[in-house]
Structure 1
């Protein structure tokens, strides 16, 4: 690995251990085994490095989730079974990657003071929505982007809400079975109206 890759790997470790606000340039350089000047050379600012490291970590989480769901998915599984299985995997990731989720909420609170961060999150949100539509409903974004975005937005709202509940009180946060039961109830009510 070169200095740039070492810095990204070091920044990811620092984000997981210290969070976004508490991580300094010196922390990252020490963790990466590089000089402080390497941050400026490769990323211009520590904030730019941390932002890129966070988005890379989230992309890695998405790829990990995709692999797990592809490996576990039964082609004969119903939509309800796929929904519950996906939520089992997502909830498992909350325990493993709690600091990654905490950093995202930390940054959401700071977005009003950082247009660049807001713009980066908005672009990442759009990609996430399309990815969630594919994971949960096997919707091809290329074939129907409007529908994929709408469905993905629903799942992203659910993901953010469950993540927040899990971060605050993991013992009271909903399980995959509870989410499935609740969705079934809502769908039944919508269908009867």
Structure 2
């Protein structure tokens, strides 16, 4: 590998071990066996390198589950299979999600990095739709990304926050799938079939 690839792999390693905020340029250089000048030459800045490394980690994370979803049917089954995979691979998944939350909760501490990650949101949503519906990314339009993609992203982000906060109380794949099914049924049920005060009947 050349310095560019070495830097990327070193940055991925640092993100998993230290997260965005605590990773320094010297950490990346040490992990990659390169030099400080290489970061600016190949990526422009440390934050740009870390952003590309984070996107790479997300892509690798998704690839782990893509093959396992190939034989699944509808979206509920595919989401259940995806969440089962997340839980089974929690040691690898947790650092990736923790790193993204670190930036999200940092408010204005790292505006350049936040802007770079925000720019990658559409790509992530498009990938989630493809994983969870089996639809090729090339067939998805902007409305798909902003509606279905945002919905899937919110669900997955919420699940990971629950798991990071307290793995023992986080919903299992079976529980979450059942919750999604019940919510969908409640939202599509005619109004007259709801209980008192508009509460859906079980």
TM class by shorter-chain length?
Answer: 0.7 to 0.9
Aligned length: 189
Deviations 1:130-160 (CA, angstroms, capped at 9, x unpaired): 2222222233455452245422211110011
Question: Where in structure 1 are there 5+ consecutive unaligned residues?
Answer: none
**Cα distance in 2, alignment partners of residues 144 and 48 from structure 1:** 27
Secondary structure of the residue aligned to 2:20 is: coil
Cross-structure match for 2:62? 62
**Cα distance in 1, alignment partners of residues 3 and 137 from structure 2:** 36
- The answer (yes or no) to whether the contact 2:47–2:112 under 8 Å persists in 1 is no
Cross-structure match for 2:199? none
- Aligned-residue RMSD, C-alpha: 2.0
- The answer (yes or no) to whether the contact 1:19–1:103 under 8 Å persists in 2 is yes
Deviations 1:64-99 (CA, angstroms, capped at 9, x unpaired): 2223322xx24xx45433332122113333332211
Is 1:158 the counterpart of 2:130 in the alignment?
no
**Cα distance in 2, alignment partners of residues 39 and 108 from structure 1:** 24
Cross-structure match for 1:172? 169
**Cα distance in 1, alignment partners of residues 17 and 187 from structure 2:** 44
Is 1:187 the counterpart of 2:180 in the alignment?
no
**Cα distance in 2, alignment partners of residues 21 and 148 from structure 1:** 29
1:36-185 equivalence runs, <5 A: 36-70=36-70, 73-74=71-72, 77-140=73-136, 142-143=138-139, 145=141, 146-147=143-144, 149-185=146-182
CA distance 1:140–1:10, change in 2 (3 Å): closer
- The answer (yes or no) to whether the contact 1:94–1:101 under 8 Å persists in 2 is no
Question: Where in structure 2 are there 5+ consecutive unaligned residues?
Answer: 191-202
TM, length-normalised to structure 2: 0.83
Looking at CA atoms only, which structure, 1 or 2, has the larger radius of gyration?
2
- The answer (yes or no) to whether the contact 2:86–2:93 under 8 Å persists in 1 is no
- The answer (yes or no) to whether the contact 1:94–1:163 under 8 Å persists in 2 is no
